[in-house]
Structure 1
Amino acid sequence: MMTDTSTTLTAAPGARRFADRARALLSTGMVRIVLVALAAGTFAPVAFMIFKSLTKQDGTNALTFTAWAAVLSGQLPQAGLISLTVSLVAIVVILSIGTLAAFGFAKLRFRGSQTIMAIIVVLMLVPGQTFIITEYFNFSSLGLIGNLPAVGVLYGVTQLPFAIFIFTNFFRAIPDELVEAAIIDGASYPRAFWSIFLPLARPAMVTVGVLAFIGVWNDLLVALLFLPTPGQRTLSVVMAGAQDTRVFDVSQVMAGALLSAIPCIIVYLIFQKQIAIGLTAGTGK
């Protein structure tokens, strides 16, 4: 009896360890299965678009690159360049003005700064469509309808509240002693901003820049109203016009949609780590 009892007591911890390991493996396997299912569900529409863009729509589903050849030889490449130009102008405006304003709010506290920051936060909640009519009349009176740089500036200004909010939170997380040490060493505030804070803000700048690029690249309303000339249409406007026709080629529409999505996917994949760091640091304080 003593031998059986000791054997049972010795085996019990081993059995518990085996059960714990089995539960851990089971939970890990379930998590992987769920993640694989989510990935498959996310990629399924993309796979369907690729299939449709590479097959004939005559019932045979034969492999063909006719749709891609038609898309690449049409007006989509030019529209893509226009979208890229407008997006880059907007990013320059957002990063240059947003970082300077955020540095002032975070490190150069002045009278009324909290009130102005509260207004900026409120502006983040206001849809851009609210001001679209006023902006259109202002642009029309200044003769800026169809002006690519002006439209890029408009995109940048409309996204400034979000950028200032992210940059301000990021700069507030940086110790004030860095500014004080730079001033004691004889550096001015612009020099401290340029040499210390701007290099540290690269993750936040990448985050804001990528999000701004995706937003401007996919926008339809502003581009449709402020760039009405056929030769100045952005990629989203051209794609919307192709889908509005009564008779259209499904293969070309799918190829065009993939072509318009590829730049956003590439930019996100390149900067995904910086985006995660920037979003985390931007909400740190």
Structure 2
Amino acid sequence: MSRTDRLTGRALLAVFCAGVLIPFAALLMAALNPPGTPLSGLSLPEHPTLAAFGRAWSTAGFGRLLANSAMVGLGVVPLALICATLAGYAFATMRFRGREVIFGLLLLGLTLPYEAAVVPLYYDLRSLGLTDTPVSLILALVGLYMPFGAFWMRQQFTALPKELLEAASLDGASSWTVLWKVLVPCVRPALTTLGLLYFLWAWNQFLLTLILIQTPANRTAPAGLAFFVGAHTTDVPMLAAATLIVIGPVVVVYLLFQRNFVAGMVSGAVKG
């Protein structure tokens, strides 16, 4: 790689980095102003304070809302990963009648907007008495995320050397043992990436939360933020503080697992 290419690459990275960090910096500087301070443009606060965070936290009840979001995310991730792993393993290694047709129908879920399934989901879950509970949101999200998860894991298992399966079969290993003791350890980075994506998607879910959960105290943080914005449209410091409170856990989770996330994405790109 020439010096010009390296400089161009670094310049592009700097531009992308600035595009990500500047909005966060603007939010932080706005949130450090006292609540009710009129703001115009990007400027440093004259008297930085955390009062906006405290007032936004207590006014919106973000403690309960963040706990609800964490409950949904931690419920969706393991259940969705298990379902995606089992489906991907079946489509990648097993031969059964109608396999390609079933997989093709499953992939149709990637092309259909999930908004089209909101109304049927609501009535189905209401008939089971599950609406207005975190269980309804968890089950709905697991089902909606299955097409992508099954496709992702099928590609990971298909890319592995077939000699692994043959060697395990010669040793007398069962299908269950082959999956969990041989294949899953090989695709652990991809599983971590998929789990992180599931958590981010579940945390940021908005429409399903509004429809399936009507009690304000049972809503998730993004839904609570939407109602908070509607009630404090002119208080920019409080709005900025509330936004940072909601996106903070997502940023922390990503920073903790960023190496695994990148490893899984690179692994999938190379194998694909």
Could you state the TM-score of these two structures normalised by the residue count of structure 2? 0.90
Aligned to 1:268: 254
Aligned residues: 263
Q: How do 1:12-23 residues align onto structure 2 when only pairs under 5 Å count? A: none
Q: How do 1:246-261 residues align onto structure 2 when only pairs under 5 Å count? A: 247-261=233-247
Aligned to 1:200: 186
> What is the alpha-carbon root mean square deviation over aligned residues?
2.0
Tell me how far 1:58 sits from its aligned partner: 5.2
Tell me how far 1:181 sits from its aligned partner: 1.6
Q: How do 1:94-173 residues align onto structure 2 when only pairs under 5 Å count? A: 94-173=80-159
Counterpart AA for 2:29 = F
Q: 1:79 aligned to 2:65?
A: yes
Structure possessing the higher relative contact order (Cα contacts under 8 Å, 6 or more residues apart): 2
State the Cα deviation string for residues 226-285 of structure 1 (Å, max 9, x = none).
111121011011100011126552212111111111122122222223223323433524
Asked if structure 2 preserves the Cα contact closer than 8 Å seen for 1:242 and 1:248, the reply is no
Distance 2:126 2:57 in 1: 33
Tell me how far 1:115 sits from its aligned partner: 1.1
User: Could you tell which deviates more after superposition, 260-269 or 136-145?
Assistant: 260-269
Distance 1:121 1:270 in 2: 31
Tell me how far 1:132 sits from its aligned partner: 0.5
Asked if structure 1 preserves the Cα contact closer than 8 Å seen for 2:27 and 2:241, the reply is yes
Q: Secondary structure at the match of 1:271?
A: helix
State the Cα deviation string for residues 33-70 of structure 1 (Å, max 9, x = none).
34323322321111110001001215784211111112
Moved over 6 A (4+): none
Q: 1:55 aligned to 2:33?
A: yes
Q: 1:235 aligned to 2:213?
A: no
Distance 1:55 1:100 in 2: 50
Q: 1:42 aligned to 2:20?
A: yes
The verdict on how the C-alpha distance between 1:187 and 1:24 changes in structure 2, with shifts beyond 3 A counting, is: closer
Could you state the TM-score of these two structures normalised by the residue count of structure 1? 0.86
Q: 1:181 aligned to 2:181?
A: no
Asked if structure 2 preserves the Cα contact closer than 8 Å seen for 1:167 and 1:282, the reply is no
Q: Percent identity?
A: 29
Aligned to 1:66: 51
Asked if structure 2 preserves the Cα contact closer than 8 Å seen for 1:93 and 1:157, the reply is no
Tell me how far 1:77 sits from its aligned partner: 1.6
